Chain A
Amino acid sequence: MQTVMAFVVGALYAAGLYLMMRRSIFKLIIGLALLSHGSNLFLFLMGYLTRGGPPITPPEAVRPVAPFADPLPQALILTAIVIGFGVQAFAVVLIRRAHETLGTDDLDKMQSTDVD
Chain B
Amino acid sequence: MKVLLLLPLLIPLLTAIISLLVWDRRLQRIFGVIGMAGLLGSAVGLLRTVCKEGIQAVQVGGWPAPFGITLVADVFAAIMVVMAGLMGLAVMVYSLTSMDKRRESFGYYPLTHIMLMGVCGSFLTGDIFNLYVWFEVMLIASFVLTELGSEKAQLEGAIKYVTLNLVSSALFLTAVGVLYGMVGTLNMADLANQLAKVKPSGLVTTASMLFFLAFGIKAAVFPLFFWLPASYHTPPVSVSAIFAALLTKVGVYALIRVFSLLFTGQTAATHGLILAVAGLTMATGVLGAVAQNDFRRLLSFHIVSQIGYMIMGLGLFTPLGLAGSIFHIVHNMLAKTNLFLISGVVHRVKGTYQLSSLGGLSRSSPGLAILFLVSAFSLAGMPPLSGFWSKLILVQAGLQAREYTIVAVALVVSLLTLYSMTKIWNEVFWKTDPAEGEQEPAKTDSFGEAESSLALLAPIVVIGCLIVSIGLAAQPVFALFEKAAHQLMNPAEYIRAVLGELP
* A residues apposed to B, CB below 8 Å: 16, 20, 25, 28, 32, 35-36, 38-40, 42-43, 45-47, 72-73, 76, 79-80, 83, 86-87, 90-91, 94-95, 97-98, 101-102, 107, 110, 112-114, 116
Q: How far is the CA of A94 from the CA of B150 in the complex (A)?
A: 9
Contact A32 B166 (CB under 8 A): yes
B residues in contact with A20, CB < 8 Å = 163, 167
B residues in contact with A45, CB < 8 Å = 177, 181
Contact B166 A46 (CB under 8 A): no
Contact B170 A39 (CB under 8 A): yes
B residues in contact with A112, CB < 8 Å = 152-153, 156
Q: Select from chain B the residue with minimum beta-carbon distance to A109.
A: B156
Contact A83 B136 (CB under 8 A): yes
A residues in contact with B156, CB < 8 Å = 98, 102, 110, 112-113
Report the minimum CB–CB distance from A111 to chain B (whole Å). Answer: 8
Contact B140 A113 (CB under 8 A): no
| CB contact list, B140-189 vs A, under 8 A | 140, 143-144, 147, 150, 152-153, 155-160, 162-163, 166-167, 169-171, 173-174, 176-178, 180-181, 186
Contact B180 A72 (CB under 8 A): yes
Q: How far is the CA of A43 from the CA of B159 in the complex (A)?
A: 27
B residues in contact with A90, CB < 8 Å = 140, 143-144, 162
Contact B176 A43 (CB under 8 A): yes
Task: Name the contact of B230 in the complex, choosing from A76, A83, A86, A114 (C-beta under 8 A).
Answer: A114
B292 at the interface (CB under 8 A from A): yes
B residues in contact with A113, CB < 8 Å = 153, 156-157, 160, 230-231, 233-234
Answer whether A101 and B150 are a contact pair too, CB < 8 Å, given A42-B177, A116-B294: yes
Answer whether A39 and B162 are a contact pair too, CB < 8 Å, given A90-B144, A101-B152: no
Answer whether A38 and B230 are a contact pair too, CB < 8 Å, given A94-B158, A110-B159, A112-B156: no
B133 at the interface (CB under 8 A from A): yes
Contact B136 A46 (CB under 8 A): no
Q: How far is the CA of A28 from the CA of B167 in the complex (A)?
A: 11
Q: How far is the CA of A88 from the CA of B157 in the complex (A)?
A: 17
Q: How far is the CA of A90 from the CA of B180 in the complex (A)?
A: 29
Contact A87 B180 (CB under 8 A): no
B129 at the interface (CB under 8 A from A): yes
Contact B173 A94 (CB under 8 A): no
B350 at the interface (CB under 8 A from A): no
A residues in contact with B264, CB < 8 Å = none
Q: Select from chain B the residue with minimum beta-carbon distance to A114.
A: B230
B residues in contact with A25, CB < 8 Å = 159
Jot down 17 A-B pairs with beta carbons below 8 A, ordered by A.
A32-B163, A35-B166, A36-B169, A38-B170, A39-B173, A43-B177, A46-B177, A47-B180, A47-B181, A72-B180, A87-B140, A91-B162, A97-B155, A101-B155, A112-B153, A113-B234, A116-B297
Q: How far is the CA of A51 from the CA of B293 in the complex (A)?
A: 62
B residues in contact with A107, CB < 8 Å = 159
Task: Name the contact of B147 in the complex, choosing from A28, A43, A46, A94 (C-beta under 8 A).
Answer: A94
Report the minimum CB–CB distance from A115 to chain B (whole Å). Answer: 10
B residues in contact with A36, CB < 8 Å = 166, 169-170, 173
Q: How far is the CA of A42 from the CA of B180 in the complex (A)?
A: 11
A residues in contact with B136, CB < 8 Å = 83, 87
Report the minimum CB–CB distance from B130 to chain A (whole Å). Answer: 10
Task: Name the contact of B159 in the complex, choosing from A79, A94, A114 (C-beta under 8 A).
Answer: A94
Q: Select from chain B the residue with minimum beta-carbon distance to A40.
A: B173
Q: How far is the CA of A25 from the CA of B118 in the complex (A)?
A: 28
Q: How far is the CA of A102 from the CA of B231 in the complex (A)?
A: 16
Report the minimum CB–CB distance from B206 to chain A (whole Å). Answer: 12
B residues in contact with A72, CB < 8 Å = 180, 186
Q: How far is the CA of A86 from the CA of B129 in the complex (A)?
A: 18
Report the minimum CB–CB distance from B289 to chain A (whole Å). Answer: 12
Task: Name the contact of A46 in the complex, choosing from B140, B159, B181 (C-beta under 8 A).
Answer: B181
B residues in contact with A73, CB < 8 Å = 177, 180
Contact A94 B162 (CB under 8 A): yes
Q: How far is the CA of A9 from the CA of B173 in the complex (A)?
A: 13
Q: Select from chain B the residue with minimum beta-carbon distance to A37.
A: B170
B residues in contact with A97, CB < 8 Å = 147, 150, 155
B residues in contact with A47, CB < 8 Å = 180-181
Report the minimum CB–CB distance from A66 to chain B (whole Å). Answer: 16
A residues in contact with B157, CB < 8 Å = 113
B residues in contact with A80, CB < 8 Å = 132, 173
Report the minimum CB–CB distance from B146 to chain A (whole Å). Answer: 10
The 6 tightest CB contacts between A and B, nearest first, are A46-B181, A43-B177, A39-B173, A98-B155, A46-B177, A39-B170
The winner among A72, A98, A116 for most chain B CB atoms within 10 A is A116
